[in-house]
Amino acid sequence: MNTLTPGHVAAANRPSKNWPATARLIITATTELYSNQYQQHGVIHSDFSKLLIAAEKLEQLSLQQEHGAIPEHQKIWHDLRNVMAALQGYVELIQEEQQVDEKSQQQLEHIDRLTLQLLEFDNKHKFPASSLYTDNTANPKLVVSGSILIVDDQRESRELIRRHLLRDQHQVLEAASGPEMLALLEHQTVDLILLDLILPEMDGHELLARLKQHQKWRAIPVIVISGNKDTERVIRCIEAGAEDYLFKPINPVLLKARISAGVERKRWLDKEQRYRHELEKSQTFIRKIFGRYVSEEIADTLLQNPDALDLGGTQCKATIMMADIRGFTTIAEQLPPQQVVRLLNNYLGAMSEIIMNHNGTVNEFIGDAILAIFGAPINREDDSDRAIQCALAMQNAMATINQQNIKEYLPAIQMGISINTGPVIAGNIGSLKRTKYGVVGHTVNQTARIEDACPAGKILISESTLIDSTAILSIGKSQTIQAKGILAAINIFQLNDAALP
Task: Verify that 183 and 252 share a domain, yes or no.
Answer: yes
Strands annotated E in 161-216: 171-175, 192-196
Task: Verify that 214 and 319 share a domain, yes or no.
Answer: no
CATH number (domain holding residue 44): 1.20.140
Q: Helix count (H) and strand count (E) of the chain? A: 16, 13
Q: Is residue 26 part of a domain?
A: yes
CATH number (domain holding residue 237): 3.40.50.2300
Q: Is residue 423 part of a domain?
A: yes
Task: Verify that 87 and 221 share a domain, yes or no.
Answer: no
User: Are the CB atoms for 419 and 447 separated by under 8 Å?
Assistant: yes
Strands annotated E in 388-471: 415-430, 435-440, 459-462
* Share of residues in the chain with pLDDT > 70 (%): 80
Which domain does 483 fall in, by range? 293-499
Least confident of 158-162, 318-322, 427-431: 427-431
pLDDT value for 377:
81
Query: What does the pLDDT average to over 267-293?
Result: 70
Task: Verify that 85 and 172 share a domain, yes or no.
Answer: no
| Cα gap 464→480, rounded to integer Å | 13
Q: Which residue has the higher pLDDT, 97 or 421?
A: 421
pLDDT value for 254:
82
Across 79-88, 131-140, 230-239, 343-352, the highest mean pLDDT is recorded for 343-352
Q: Is residue 136 part of a domain?
A: no
Q: Is residue 197 part of a domain?
A: yes
Residues 6+ apart with CB under 8 A from 5: none
CATH number (domain holding residue 306): 3.30.70.1230
pLDDT value for 386:
95
Q: Is residue 140 part of a domain?
A: no
| Burial group, residue 222, by CB count within 10 angstroms (0-12, 13-18, 19+) | buried
pLDDT value for 292:
60
Q: Is residue 133 part of a domain?
A: no
Count CB atoms within 10 A of the CB of residue 29: 19
Least confident of 152-166, 307-321, 407-421, 479-493: 307-321
252-269 pLDDT, tens per residue?
778 888 888 888 878 777
- 392 to each of 165, 289, 323, 397, 420, how far by Cα in Å? 74, 27, 12, 9, 15
* Exposure class string for 317-334: b at 16+ Cβ within 10 A, else e: bbbbbbbbbbebeebbee
116-151 pLDDT, tens per residue?
777 777 654 444 433 333 344 344 455 567 889 999
pLDDT value for 166:
87
Last residue of a domain, one of 93, 124, 155: 124
Task: Verify that 377 and 486 share a domain, yes or no.
Answer: yes
Type of residue found at 449: R
Least confident of 65-79, 207-221, 365-379: 65-79
| Burial group, residue 5, by CB count within 10 angstroms (0-12, 13-18, 19+) | exposed
| Number of folded domains that form the chain | 3
pLDDT value for 492:
94
Q: Is residue 278 part of a domain?
A: no
Q: Is residue 161 part of a domain?
A: yes
- 415 to each of 3, 316, 346, how far by Cα in Å? 90, 28, 13
> Phi and psi dihedrals of 159, rounded to 5?
-65, -45
pLDDT value for 38:
73
In this prediction the pTM is: 0.48
Task: Verify that 488 and 434 share a domain, yes or no.
Answer: yes
| Cα gap 498→474, rounded to integer Å | 6
Q: Report which DSSP code applies to 22.
A: H
176-232 pLDDT, tens per residue?
999 999 999 998 889 899 998 888 888 888 888 889 888 888 888 899 887 776 777
Task: Verify that 422 and 313 share a domain, yes or no.
Answer: yes
Task: Verify that 480 and 339 share a domain, yes or no.
Answer: yes
Task: Verify that 72 and 191 share a domain, yes or no.
Answer: no
Task: Verify that 184 and 258 share a domain, yes or no.
Answer: yes
Nearest to 377 by CA among 416, 328, 426: 426
* Share of residues in the chain with pLDDT > 90 (%): 30
Task: Verify that 153 and 185 share a domain, yes or no.
Answer: yes
Task: Verify that 322 and 456 share a domain, yes or no.
Answer: yes
